[in-house]
Amino acid sequence: MSAFSAIGEHAEHDRNEYTPGVEPQPTWCPGCGDFGVLKALKGAAAELGLSPEEMLVCTGIGCSGKLNSYFDSYGFHTIHGRSLPVARAAKLANPGLTVIAAGGDGDGYGIGGNHFMHTARENHDMTYIVFNNEIFGLTKGQTSPTSPKGHKSKTQPHGSAKDPIRPLSMSLNAGASYIARTAAVNPNQAKDIIVEAVEHDGFSHVDFLTQCPTWNKDAKQYVPYIDVNESEDYEFDNTDRSEASEMMFETENVLNEGTVLTGRYYVDEDRPSYQQEKRRIGEIPEEPLAERYFDEDYEWERVYDTFLDKHK
DSSP result, the chain: --S-TTTT------GGGGSPSS-PPP-PPTT-THHHHHHHHHHHHHHHT--GGGEEEEE-SSGGGGHHHHS-SEEEE--TT-HHHHHHHHHHH-TTSEEEEEEEHIIIIIITHHHHHHHHHHT-SEEEEEEE-SSBTTTTSB--TTSPTT--BTTBTT---SPPP-HHHHHHHHT-SEEEEEETT-HHHHHHHHHHHHHSSSEEEEEEE---TTT-GGGTT--SEEETTT-TT----TTSHHHHHHHHHHHHHHHTTT-EEEEEEEE-SSSPPHHHHHHHTT-S-SS-HHHHTT-TT--PPPHHHHTSGGG-
- Report how far residue 223's alpha carbon sits from residue 207's, in angstroms, rounded to the nearest whole number: 16
Of 49 and 285, CB closest to another protein? 285
Q: Which is nearer to another protein, 96 or 187 (CB)?
A: 96
79 or 254: whose CB is closer to another protein?
79
Amino acid (one-letter) located at 130 = V
Instruction: Give the C-alpha separation, 201 to 197, whole Å.
Output: 8
**Smaller CB separation from another protein, 226 or 284:** 284
Q: Is 277 buried (19+), middle (13-18) or exposed (0-12) by CB count in 10 A?
A: middle
**Is 233 or 305 the residue whose CB approaches another protein more closely?**
305
- Tallying the residues shown for the chain, one arrives at 312
Cα end-to-end span (Å), the chain: 40
Q: How far is the CB of 38 from another protein (least distance, A)?
A: 15
Q: CB 125 → another protein: shortest distance, Å? A: 14
Cβ at position 120, least distance to another protein in Å: 11
42 and 198 in contact (C-beta within 8 Å)?
no
Min dist CB 50 to another protein, Å, is: 12
Q: Which CB atom, from 58 or from 168, has the smaller least distance to another protein? A: 58
Tell the smallest beta-carbon distance from residue 26 to another protein (Å).
Answer: 12
Q: Which is nearer to another protein, 41 or 193 (CB)?
A: 41
Nearer residue to another protein within complex by CB, 68 or 186: 68
Shorter beta-carbon distance to another protein: residue 163 or 287:
287
Min separation Cβ 103 and another protein, Å = 13
Supply the minimum distance, in Å, between the C-beta of residue 233 and another protein. Answer: 39
**Smallest gap from residue 68 Cβ to another protein (A):** 6
Q: List residues near another protein by CB under 8 A.
A: 3-7, 20-24, 52-54, 56, 58, 61, 66, 68-69, 72-79, 82, 84-94, 96-97, 114-115, 117-118, 278, 282-285, 289-290, 292-293, 298, 300-304, 306-308, 311-312
- Smallest gap from Cβ 291 to another protein, in A, equals 9
